[in-house]
Structure 1
Amino acid sequence: TNNWYPGEILDDARYTEKRVDVLAARAAQAFGEYLPVDERLAVDGRIYRRLSYGPLLDVFVLDMRTYKDPNGPNRYADPTLGLLGRRQREWLKRELAASRATWKVIA
């Protein structure tokens, strides 16, 4: 789909890779190289995590891109779809319930 020129197909010879899995792997690598995300804190290579700052503060860092549900077939909001995906949403609920911090920040 071409969002910039509806009805026209743009062909750019510079971009020869069309496989989504390869493009997604390259995007994840670029993300990891560019942003200061400490890979040692990652579990199963995921980006979302909880950062605890003593007994007062827990920061829940979410990934609202990687795990999002697929887009619906039309422009209307579908309440069954979300940005977090089932696995991350369940993790967030579980971690919020388990947190004993005074302040809980979702970022």
Structure 2
Amino acid sequence: QWDDHEVTNNWFPGQILDDAHYRERRVDVLFPRARQAFHEYLPIRPCPEEPGRVYRNFAFGPLAEVFLLDERSYRGTNNNNRQPQMSPDAAFMGAAQLNWFKQKLSESKATWKIISSDMPIGL
């Protein structure tokens, strides 16, 4: 499961780290390195539509389908999340992944739909 700790704790795209332990503090530089290490270490099939993509789905026969989400790579900035309405800052799946997830979930004929998420979500 791709999580925030693959790059640094609670990271988001565009973040500049305020931590003296890092020589490179730009998350946009650290993120591709972490993603490459993730894919080199874990035996997951590459996505032909988007190389490096982590979110995916796969079936275990006709009864179960697993939906593996990536709630870090496409998220907005980390903040107190008290926006009065939805905005890009509050997003954590990104529009493309959210649309993919809704479509795949509605198309699934599996009896059991298992959603693997590194953060709690409500549907």
Q: How high is the TM-score relative to the length of structure 1?
A: 0.70
5+ unaligned residues in a row in structure 1: which ranges? Answer: 1-8
Partner in structure 1 of residue 108 of structure 2? 99
2: CA distance between counterparts of 1:63 and 1:95?
Answer: 15
Q: Which residues of 2 match residues 45-60 of structure 1 at below 5 A? A: 45=51, 46-60=53-67
| Greater RCO, 1 or 2 (C-alpha within 8 Å, sep 6+) | 2
2: CA distance between counterparts of 1:76 and 1:60?
Answer: 25
Cα distance, 1:19–1:96 mapped onto 2, change above 3 Å: same
Q: Which residues of 2 match residues 73-84 of structure 1 at below 5 A? A: 75-78=80-83, 79-80=85-86, 81-84=90-93
Cα distance, 1:30–1:56 mapped onto 2, change above 3 Å: same
1: CA distance between counterparts of 2:74 and 2:19?
Answer: 29
Cα distance, 1:44–1:55 mapped onto 2, change above 3 Å: same
1: CA distance between counterparts of 2:46 and 2:112?
Answer: 24
Superposed CA offset, 1:6-45 (max 9, x none): xxx7655x71x355433222121222234x2413456412
Report % sequence identity.
39
5+ unaligned residues in a row in structure 2: which ranges? Answer: 1-17, 117-123
Q: How high is the TM-score relative to the length of structure 2?
A: 0.62
Amino acid of the structure 2 residue aligned with 1:102: T
Q: Is the partner of 2:29 in helix, strand or coil?
A: helix
Amino acid of the structure 2 residue aligned with 1:60: F
Amino acid of the structure 2 residue aligned with 1:39: R
Matched pairs, number: 94
